[in-house]
Amino acid sequence: MDIHEYQAKEILARFGVPVPRGGLAYSPEQAGYHARELGGDAWVVKAQVHSGGRGEAGGVKLCRSEEEVREFAATLFGHKLVTKQTDANGKDIFRVWVEAASDIEQELYLGLVLDRKSERIMIVASGHGGMEIEDLAHEDPDSLRRMVVDPAVGLAEYQSRELAFSLGLRGGEIAQMVNTVRACYRAYRDLDAMMVEINPLVITKSGDLVALDAKMSFDTNALFRRPQILELRDRSQEDPRESNAEDHGLAYVGLDGDIGCIINGAGLAMATMDMIKLAGGEPANFLDIGGGASPERVAQAFRTVLTDANVQVILVNIFAGINRCDWVAEGVVQAYKSEGLTLPVVVRLAGTNVAEGRKILEQSGLPLITADTLAEAAEKAVEARARQAA
């Protein structure tokens, strides 16, 4: 689960990371009011959306007067911000963060991620911050420093000091860096984070280390024990298809194609997507309905797939092990009727009670397209898609 920049800054500040003073606005007037209250003569106005690359996309601006703050904020509210990291629709701007501007001497990069290979938290840093980590890894890979933390020992002070030295920091900058890295590590560990990223982490002209941007992402499997983090969830920033599926306990990932997939098992779901591609089609989603698929669950899966307006054909592929094909077939028939389906539906069933399952599909009198193998199902779905387009 992702949170907003201002929320991440608030959390990190609690752990001891220095951040600029600022205020959250829900209207241009509030933005102007924050600028006045903060004082000074320069403010940074920032669209709060769950995405990086806001600066390049016109979602961040350095403003020199209260009026400029209000005017720029007015161009953000009610609009969508399209960045390199969002899809073509972008994300709605409902919140704007206004903070006292900093005079930047140097931009650094600091990130903490879960390294799946070593199964440990990895700290990544660079003396060359500001751009996205992907671009940094491409354009200046030698500047990247990586350090893995042993969970039994925790982050040792010498490690953060070594990191600060390797970035070329000097004097008082070193102690500030050590402090910031340790604060980020504690926040990551204590809150079940999956990612903490400060980019840029800057050294100001007066020699202070400050986090000008902050990003945090949390392990959804640990949210049951992090109610305060869960409260930071902003559904307006999520793909509605995915949050809807999650509410119903379905593992769903939205994609760009038009063949909706209802499948049990992550492996089978991936194999089915491969077969659709091989047959010349494009899947609209990844959806794993899990092991014990009751008719209700299958019907819910249909509703979830149908929330995607791009879907032209639905492919149901169930291999029943602990599941039962007759239950799945019941679910398909129920969903077809209750949802008033008009789209072609291709069904492939295999495993426990497959004969009973097929009989239910046949006797339903519905125009379902059946298939015996995975390859046949994918081909029939792509054919049906072509007929729809014609």
Catalytic site positions: 109, 197
4 binds, among ligand GDP, Mn ion, none (CB under 5 to 8 A by kind): none
Which residues partner with 177 through β-bridges? none
The 8-class DSSP code of residue 352 comes to: T
Yes or no: say if 375 and 345 are a contact pair by the CB < 8 Å rule. no
Window 25-54: residues binding ligand GDP (CB under 6 A): 44, 46, 52-54
| H-only helix segments in 119-265 | 133-139, 157-166, 172-190, 227-230, 240-247
**CA of 40: how far to CAs of 27, 35, 102, 328, 387, in Å?**
21, 8, 11, 65, 64
Among 28, 32, 111, 130, binds ligand GDP (CB under 6 A): 130
Q: Does 198 bind ligand GDP (CB under 6 A)?
A: no
Structure tokens at 374: 């995975």
22 binds, among Mn ion, ligand GDP, none (CB under 5 to 8 A by kind): none
Yes or no: say if 255 and 280 are a contact pair by the CB < 8 Å rule. no
Q: Does 102 bind ligand GDP (CB under 6 A)?
A: yes
Structure tokens at 350: 């295999």
Q: Report which of 266, 304, 310, 303 is spatially closest to residue 284, judged by C-alpha positions.
A: 310
Among 8, 11, 60, 335, binds ligand GDP (CB under 6 A): 60
| Nearest distance, CB of residue 323 and ligand GDP, angstroms | 44
Among 2, 5, 173, 213, binds Mn ion (CB under 5 A): 213
Which residues are CB-neighbours of 141 under 8 A, at least 6 positions away?
Answer: none
Segment near Mn ion (CB under 5 A); pick from 34-42, 164-172, 207-215, 319-327: 207-215
| Nearest distance, CB of residue 90 and ligand GDP, angstroms | 13
Among 102, 199, 304, 353, binds Mn ion (CB under 5 A): 199
Nearer to Mn ion, 83 or 199 (CB): 199
The 8-class DSSP code of residue 1 comes to: -
Among 55, 58, 295, 351, binds ligand GDP (CB under 6 A): 55
Which residues are CB-neighbours of 140 under 8 A, at least 6 positions away?
Answer: 126, 128
Reduce the DSSP state of residue 47 to 3 states and report it.
Answer: strand
Nearer to Mn ion, 201 or 328 (CB): 201
Among 11, 82, 101, 121, binds ligand GDP (CB under 6 A): 101
Which residues contact ligand GDP (rule: CB under 6 A)? 44, 46, 52-55, 60, 62, 101-102, 104, 130, 199-200, 212-213
